Structure 1
Amino acid sequence: MHTATSPLVSPALIRIFDHFADAQQARSALLDDGFPAHAVQLDTVDDEAVPIQGKAAWRGMFRLVVTIGNAQERQRAHAIVQACNGCDIEQRTASHAGGRRTGAHAQAG
């Protein structure tokens, strides 16, 4: 099975960072590890609830997208980005939304 066509394996690794320095460190480490510059994109989420892979990212987050060619690249990229405090989009948005709900309940109560 080719990873680019597999529904279980995305051709990109997307991670969210709260701090630009961490995101930039991850980008630099990926480039140092041999990922081509065109395959490593770093940007800022400027709007509330921007959709990313069906999930929402929140203003002030930094998004790093790494184009992946195979499972070995995915593992390498994941290890590098995780070491730089990159968060999975689903985990990060779930914890962010949970914090917002908690704050809303605290204000209402």
Structure 2
Amino acid sequence: MINHAVMGMFDKFDTAEQARAALLADGFGSDALELKVHDDEAGPVEGNFLVGNTPIESDQHVYDRNYANPAQRGQCMLMVNAVDAATAARASAILAGFGARDPDRLSGARP
């Protein structure tokens, strides 16, 4: 029976995959790991809403600035199903080592 779940949010799929590989190397079974990618049909959360889809010649610098580096935030979620608190702590440490963010802390649900 699974008592604990640990989640980590990543901006990049490659980083989430590296964290998953590290968990597997540490002895976590693939059945205890779940990696999901959430794409937003509206596009990146940063860099695409200010000027629309077509640049106006006089505003080319604004268009270039806003579209140059669009950034996805927290689109990859890696969940680890742990059987006890010690295993959950081990998973949390591995996720943290890859820069995972805790979704509860991001949402303000937990201090």
TM-score by length of 1: 0.62
Over aligned residues, Cα RMSD in angstroms?
A: 2.2
Q: Which has the higher strand share?
A: 1
| Long gaps (5+) in structure 1 | 5-10, 49-57, 95-109
Instruction: Output the CA distance in 2 between the equivalents of 1:82 and 1:62.
Output: 14
Q: Which protein has greater RCO, CA pairs closer than 8 Å, 6+ apart?
A: 2
Q: 1:91 to 1:76 in 2, by over 3 A?
A: same
**Match in the other structure for 1:30:** 23
| Long gaps (5+) in structure 2 | 42-71
Identity of aligned residues (%): 38
Helix, strand or coil at the partner of 1:43 = strand
Poorly superposed stretches of 4+, deviation over 6 Å: none
Instruction: Output the CA distance in 2 between the equivalents of 1:29 and 1:72.
Output: 17
TM-score by length of 2: 0.61
Provide the aligned length of Structure 1 versus Structure 2: 77
Computing the radius of gyration from Cα coordinates, the structure with the larger value is: 2
Q: Which has the higher helix share?
A: 1
**Match in the other structure for 2:92:** 78
